[in-house]
Structure 1
Amino acid sequence: MIINGSLTIINFYLAVFFPEIGETLFSTQGIMVMLLIAYGGAMWMFLTSAPKVYTVMVSDLNIAQLFYEQILDLPIADIPLHYYYNYEQSLGASSFDPIYMGSTLHDTMPKPSDGLWYQLKKNTQLHIIGGASLGYKDCQRHVCFDHECLEALLLRVQSRRLRYKIRKENPLNFLVKDYDNRVIEMAEVNN
């Protein structure tokens, strides 16, 4: 039995009990395959542990900040790591080519740090961005594409015992009054 520097104790035991595994597992190709499997596992863990993010577009960020922090009492959340890598924003904007759109689109596209971030549920965050027009009778408008998000916000409104009125069930649209008697329209955009 000859043991040289490249043959480790583990390799020795594998070579004794499983000779064909010991030679291929610790070869250059075997190590590369193990590294790729480890990298794939790490990426899977990263993507599955990332929080779900709902985006709500609002008419006025300052009024929205008061509404979500003081009235709905949502805790401020950190920006999820996958937003730093532009993972979700690139899905929606990938059809726009900056070469054809000019520099104005690139300058006006929101950055991940723009807006407000709140923890809605345990592994669910709310990203509040500006850009919505005023709503019903010039009230503040909060627009969302996700029905589940608006249902969670409606539950939060109900638990805080705020005055609200459901205008439409599908797509969900309801009005909420804040403490300053401002009417906020929460509207689901039908896909």
Structure 2
Amino acid sequence: MTIVTSLTLISHSLGAFLPIDSVFSTQGIMVMLLAAYALAMWMFLTSAPKVHTVMVSDLEVARQFYEGLLQLNVADIPLHYYYNYEQTLGTAGVDPLYMSATSSATTTTNFRGSEGLWYQLKKNTQLHIISGASYGTKNRQRHVCFDHDCLEEILMRVQSRRLKYKIRRNKPLNFLVKDIEERVIEMAEVKN
């Protein structure tokens, strides 16, 4: 008897907070669907890889450097880049010094997530290589990045491969490295 009374009290107290008839109403179903959608979006966005973008002078030289010397694995394009995520980054804040002198207005407006090269830098971190950087002094290849952590990861990879390099500056990070054909590549961090 006391067990039945206890269950009745529990069901009445739960019913006060969560009435069954309102859960299965149109409004209740909509709230549950919105909550499920929010959970799915949160899971999608938290599982998406972090992407670092590097602008380079020449995509073919960059391919030889990242695949050949640094031995980075080619990565699949993350799903969120199919939905024009990178267009929200914009290029309005890019200093003209870092853009190619021969680039036209179409170079800055044609950024699509699928263009360029994609590499797996770490487990949940990818490297997106795009063209658009100007050549450096003495016609050096130039790789420009806005993210200090990205360039540190590349520098650690250069050091682990025992490649010739020279750190020119720590803040913002700037270093030189030689590729297979003894071309000097300048890796430069751009301060926002």
Task: Please give the range of the TM-score, normalised by the shorter of the 2 chains.
Answer: 0.7 to 0.9
2:136 maps to 1:138: no
Cα deviation code 1:22-53 (max 9, x no counterpart) = 11111111111000000000011111111110
Q: Decide whether the 8 Å contact of 1:136 with 1:185 is kept in 2.
A: no
Paired amino acid for 1:114: E
TM-fit CA distance, 1:178:
1.2
Aligned residue for 1:62, secondary structure, equals helix
TM-score normalised according to structure 2 size? 0.82
2:45 maps to 1:44: no
Aligned residue for 2:39, secondary structure, equals helix
Q: Decide whether the 8 Å contact of 1:82 with 1:88 is kept in 2.
A: no
Distance change (3 Å), C-alpha of 1:54 and 1:26: same
User: Matched residues in 2 for 1:129 and 1:94: separation?
Assistant: 16
1:81 to 75, 79, 82: 79
Q: Hey, what does 1:109 align to over in structure 2?
A: 110
User: Matched residues in 2 for 1:94 and 1:46: separation?
Assistant: 29
User: Matched residues in 1 for 2:177 and 2:152: separation?
Assistant: 13
1:22 to 11, 15, 20: 20
TM-fit CA distance, 1:115:
0.4
TM-fit CA distance, 1:106:
8.9
- Count residues with an aligned counterpart: 170
Paired amino acid for 2:32: M
Gaps of 5+ in 1: 1-15, 96-103
Aligned residue for 2:75, secondary structure, equals coil
**Aligned-pair identity (%):** 68
Distance change (3 Å), C-alpha of 1:106 and 1:143: closer
Q: Hey, what does 2:6 align to over in structure 1?
A: none
Aligned residue for 1:38, secondary structure, equals helix
Paired amino acid for 1:110: F
User: Matched residues in 1 for 2:89 and 2:179: separation?
Assistant: 34
Quick check: 165-174 or 107-116, which moved more? 107-116
User: Matched residues in 2 for 1:25 and 1:74: separation?
Assistant: 51
Q: Hey, what does 1:58 align to over in structure 2?
A: 56
User: Matched residues in 1 for 2:181 and 2:42: separation?
Assistant: 46
TM-fit CA distance, 1:107:
8.8
TM-score normalised according to structure 1 size? 0.82
Aligned residues: CA RMSD = 2.3
Q: Hey, what does 1:12 align to over in structure 2?
A: none
Paired amino acid for 2:149: E
Paired amino acid for 2:25: S
Q: Hey, what does 2:102 align to over in structure 1?
A: none
Cα deviation code 1:101-141 (max 9, x no counterpart) = xxx64994222111000000011000000111111321110
Q: Hey, what does 2:31 align to over in structure 1?
A: 33
Distance change (3 Å), C-alpha of 1:76 and 1:35: same
User: Matched residues in 2 for 1:169 and 1:110: separation?
Assistant: 29
